[in-house]
Amino acid sequence: MNDLHTELKKSIIDQLNLEDMDVSDIENDEPLFGDGLGLDSIDALELIVLLEKDYGIKLEDPNQGKEIFNSINSMVDFIEKNRTK
Amino acid sequence: MCAVAVTGMGIVSSLGKNLFENYQSLNTGKTGISTPEILQTNYKDLPVGEIKINNTRLSNDLGLNPGHSYTRAALLGCMAVRELLHNSGLSEFDPGTGFISGTTVGGMDMTESFFDQFSENSENLRYIQAQHPGFTTEKIAAYFGLNAMVTTISTACSSSANAIMLGARLIESGRLKRVIVGGTDCLTRFTLNGFNSLKILSGETCKPFDENRNGLNLGEAAAYLLLEADEMKGNRPAIARISGYGNANDAFHQTASSQNGEGAYLAMKKAIEKAGVDPVNINYINAHGTGTGNNDLSESVAIKRVFGDHIPEFSSTKALTGHTLGAAGAVEAVISIMAIQNQEVFPNLNFSQPIRDTGLMPETKLHSKQLNYVLSNSFGFGGNCTSLIFRNE
Amino acid sequence: MNKVFINGISAISAQDEDIFDTGNFQEFSSSIVKAKDQDYKAVIKPMMLRRMSQAVKMGLYCSKKALTEAGIIQPGAIIIGTGQGCIQDTEKFMQSMIESEEGLLAPTSFIQSTHNTVGGQIALELNCNSYNMTYTQNSGSFESALLDSLMLINTGEETTVLVGGVDETSPAFTGFQVLDGQICKEQISGPDLLKKDTPGTMISESASFFVLDAKKQEKSYACVRDVCLKNRIQKQEPEQLILEFLKSNELDISEIDAVILGNNGDCRYDGYYSGIQEAIFSKTAQLAYKHLVGDNHSISAYAMWLGARIIAENRIPEAFQINHVTCDKIDKVLIYNQYLGKNHGLILLEKP
């Protein structure tokens, strides 16, 4: 696991108030929404803000988020390819 | 069955500062959507339904002394209630008159302006209480000397529709004989930034019920109705009657509407049941139709569930007024009553292609039509859904 | 006309709920008082709880407790009174908006800033499609909600209503209330709060929820006979307001066994109470509560919690009584509250 995975998990826990969770509780390939971590559409908007704030990636179409936010792995892939900071 | 008389009304919106100007704009399809000039915001290019009269001019028009603590929503509210008084045939409001106002953010315009400056200047302290909606309601009440029952409903974008419903119920129950009902909301940075963070503001004039709709435009307005028990009305005419109402909760999501439009469906159904009419007797629906992907689809599904194969003519007038949040229900009540008075259906602007999943076609041209029953929808955050039915006197 | 029975109650305040049984109360060293923390995790799912502000947590917790007690799963209506609404999230969003100069903003606190967040969240949690309403009329917020509830049940439109009053504090917004003199500079709580002769009071958080029902249960606490809301009266007018209210309910002042008053130690406005304390209630057991739980825009809901328990148990706890009139049989309790001389509310409770 590289540092970006851990860094991302930390900021997700922080941004989404997942108070009782620890980095080790989130698997890299676990679905973030639905039956996995159980995030919802409000969280998706928070994640869009997180991408822009921390990595300088602007998602113009919120629907894009569906694939990107599938898991920590998919987010890391997307960030590595598109980050501007 | 309900038949509470509406004996007066008043409105100020981006379409105009009185009933006449609003009707003219509705009639010619002239939109009130522009870009912010009075609201101080970084989002200078976001379209809004702004009333182009600043607070100083509003205060002068109302004869208020400098140093007053009226919020913009209170100033707009006073304008609308003053017009209501003028056309109600009353010379003043009697002491028992109730006042029920709906609003989402009340005096947030003052809170956001002075948030960092309350401690710096004691002159600003008069706006500290503006944060809660009751403050704005009380300012309007005080302007007209209304000391009896005064209350505020804040259920997001259905607030003033709920105020109208409560007023009708208070008259029906005999607890009040005369009550002013409606709502007021002004544009604020708080709401503009809030809706922007939800990514549901359109960068152009909104396109309600269109397949390619891409969000809403915020607006500001105040609109009020005078409701009276028949024994108070005497020989003065009723301009319309409230014949049904219903509120239900979608219980689906904090902001989004459900796919089957359950809350909207239940609200319309309750209103129709209360009115004691067959759904085929509803001649026109003034839809909530904000222009967001989610609302318009959900509302279309709900309309189809209620009306089946007999969908009444419908339109959203929000491409004209903008979405005036807590005031929207009252603005659209006034528009519904104007539709009845003039026996006209007002157009849904910017529509070209029906939503693929539902295929519903709103009315896009102004036209005459016999209108006996008009249904008006208002839905808000927190799943709050309200439908009102007005009928021709 | 259907009668309205209180079949379930729950209150969170600065004091423990067992203050009624033990008489033990806490004194505070601040004029801004938080509500006692509860075991929220026991009744609210962690994924829901993580975003909830104090008002939402308290509202949901009390709702569930009151509904369980009344044996109701889905109420026919959910009606909330909250004067300041969700000020914690409002403050959070406003602060980030101002600090970022309208920059990139996360939406969660905006979504939760709307005044009907508590009512909406209860509906979501209960999966309840019924009538849902929120009143925000300063200190008349709970009375407005109660009036709506009574109309629904009286007319037979609904049989069961969940009604509650809830208000929270937040650092900046509540702090502003010190600047404009709503909160007193001294840090006094307990009986001394009511004796001070300075402006301002102690502001607190609270939530009090009730299940109202057209059907009487064996353990019904009390009946809500009537409620009245009046925006503005002069200091000498509460007597007339109360007498007219009682008259419209075909009651005489002598039939009121206990009166729960909203005295909060603000020397500018406690005169609204002192006049009637001497004139019409000199032979009535008088109670106050704000010296123990502080004041806020929906605190009269706490007074109704207190009144309901007093009638149910036929007993007035000493910590609340402010005169020496004793009372063997408590049938009727009147609650009178106002704030800053406005939004006067009367609630009449009686034995079921």
pLDDT 10s digits, B184-208: 999 999 999 999 999 999 999 999 9
When CB atoms are compared, the residue of A16, A42, A52 closest to C104 is A52
Which residues of chain A does C105 touch, with a Cβ-Cβ cutoff of 8 Å? Answer: 49
* B356 shares contact with chain A (CB less than 8 Å): no
Residues of B in contact with A45 (CB under 8 A): 197-199
Query: Per residue in C219-256, is it b (16+ CB within 10 Å) or e — as a string?
Result: ebbbbbbbbbbbbbbeeeebeebbeebbeeeebebeeb
- pLDDT category at B157 given cuts 50, 70, 90 is very high
Q: Do C107 and A20 touch (CB under 8 A)?
A: no
CATH number, domain with residue A56: 1.10.1200.10
Looking at chain C from residue 174 to 193, which residues have their Cβ under 8 Å from any Cβ of chain B? 176-177, 179-180, 182
Residue B152, CA distances (Å) to B5, B104, B275 in order: 21, 10, 25
| Residue that is written with structure tokens 């406690």 in the block | C270
Sign of CA dihedral B142, B145, B151, B155: negative
How far apart (Å, rounded) are the C-alpha atoms in residues A25 and A9? 9
Residue A63: pLDDT band by 50, 70, 90 thresholds? confident
Convert the pLDDT of each residue in B335-365 to its tens digit. 999 999 999 999 999 999 999 999 999 999 9
Chain segment A27-59, per-residue pLDDT in tens: 999 999 988 888 988 899 899 999 999 999 998
The pLDDT value given to residue A1: 53
Is B132 close to C297, i.e. CB distance below 8 A? yes
**Nearest alpha-carbon partner for B95 in B146, B142, B140, B144:** B146
Q: How many CB pairs under 8 A join A and B?
A: 11
Tell me the pLDDT tens digit for each residue of C124-134. 999 999 999 99
* d(CA A82, nearest CA chain C) in Å: 19
Q: Do C105 and A49 touch (CB under 8 A)?
A: yes
B378: Cβ–Cβ under 8 A, 6 or more apart, which residues?
B157, B158, B160, B161, B288, B328, B329, B332, B385, B386, B387, B388
pLDDT band at A85 (very low <50, low <70, confident <90, very high): confident
pLDDT in tens, B98-153: 999 999 999 999 999 999 999 888 889 999 999 999 999 999 999 999 999 999 99
Strands B218-219 and B48-49: parallel
- What share of chain C has pLDDT > 90, as a percent? 96
Residue B85: both structure tokens together: 């008084």
Residue B1: which pLDDT band, with cuts at 50, 70 and 90?
low
Give the HSE-up count for residue B45: Cα atoms under 13 Å, Cβ half-sphere: 2
What architecture is the B4-233 domain classified under in CATH?
3-Layer(aba) Sandwich (3.40)
Domain boundaries, chain C: 5-213, 223-350
* Chain A residues in contact with C111 (beta carbon < 8 A): 42
Q: What is the pLDDT of residues C167-196, one digit of tens each?
A: 999 999 999 999 999 999 888 888 899 999
In sequence order, the 6+-apart residues with CB closer than 8 A to the CB of B353 are B210, B211, B212
- Give the mean pLDDT of B172-178: 96
**A residues 29-48 near B, CB within 8 Å?**
40-42, 45, 48
Instruction: Pick C131's closest partner by Cβ from B106, B118, B248.
Output: B248
- Whether residue B199 and residue A45 make contact (CB cut-off 8 A), yes or no, is yes
Catalytic residue positions of B, numbered: 157, 288, 323
Using the Cβ of B253 and the Cβ atoms of chain A, whether some distance falls under 8 Å is answered with yes
Chain B CB contacts of A48 below 8 Å? 199
CA B314 – CA B209 distance, rounded (Å):
10
Q: Residue C188: its pLDDT value, please?
A: 85
| Cβ-based neighbour number of residue B67 at 10 Å | 7
Contacts of C237 in chain B (CB under 8 A): none
Mean pLDDT of chain C: 96
Is residue C132 less than 8 Å (CB to CB) from chain B?
A: yes
Percent with pLDDT over 90 in chain B: 96
Q: How many CB pairs under 8 A join B and C?
A: 195
Q: Please report how the helices A3-15 and A41-55 are oriented relative to each other, as an axis angle in degrees rounded to 10.
A: 130
- For B178, the 3-state DSSP assignment is strand
- Quick one: average pLDDT of C34-42? 96
Which residues of chain A have a CB within 8 Å of the CB of B254?
Answer: 42
Assigned architecture for domain C223-350? 3-Layer(aba) Sandwich (3.40)
Question: In chain A, how many domains are there?
Answer: 1
Mean pLDDT of B263-292: 98
Say yes or no for a CB contact (<8 Å) between C231 and B147: yes
**Cβ contact C179–B118 (<8 Å):** yes
Contact B388, B333 (CB under 8 A): yes
Asked whether the beta carbons of residue A49 and residue C104 sit closer than 8 angstroms, the reply is yes
Torsions phi, psi of C113, nearest 5?
A: -85, -15
Nearest to B77 by CA among B234, B289, B222: B222
Give the start-to-end residue ranges of the domains of chain B: 4-233, 244-391
CB A13 within 8 A of CB A23: yes
Q: DSSP of C198-223, one letter per residue? A: SS-B-EE-EEEEEEEESS--TT--EE
Fold of B244-391: Peroxisomal Thiolase; Chain A, domain 1 (3.40.47)
Q: Would you call A54 an interface residue with chain C, using a CB distance cutoff of 8 Å? A: no
Do B244-391 and B4-233 fall under one CATH topology? Answer: yes
**Cβ–Cβ contact B135 with C under 8 A:** yes
Nearest chain B Cα distance for residue C199, angstroms:
16
pLDDT tens profile C262-294: 999 999 999 999 999 999 999 999 999 999 999
Contact A46 C51 (CB under 8 A): no
CATH 3.40.1160.10 assigned to domain C5-213? The reply is no
Q: What is the pLDDT of residues B17-66, one digit of tens each?
A: 999 999 999 999 999 999 999 999 999 999 999 999 999 999 999 999 98
Task: Say whether residue A14 is in contact with chain C using an 8 A CB cutoff.
Answer: no
Taking only the tens place, the pLDDT of each residue in C296-340 is: 999 999 999 999 999 999 999 999 999 999 999 999 999 999 999
Q: Residue C133 and residue B162: Cβ atoms within 8 Å?
A: yes
**Nearest-neighbour CA in chain A from C80: distance (Å):** 24
Domain that holds residue A38: 3-82
Whether A61 contacts chain B with CB within 8 A? no
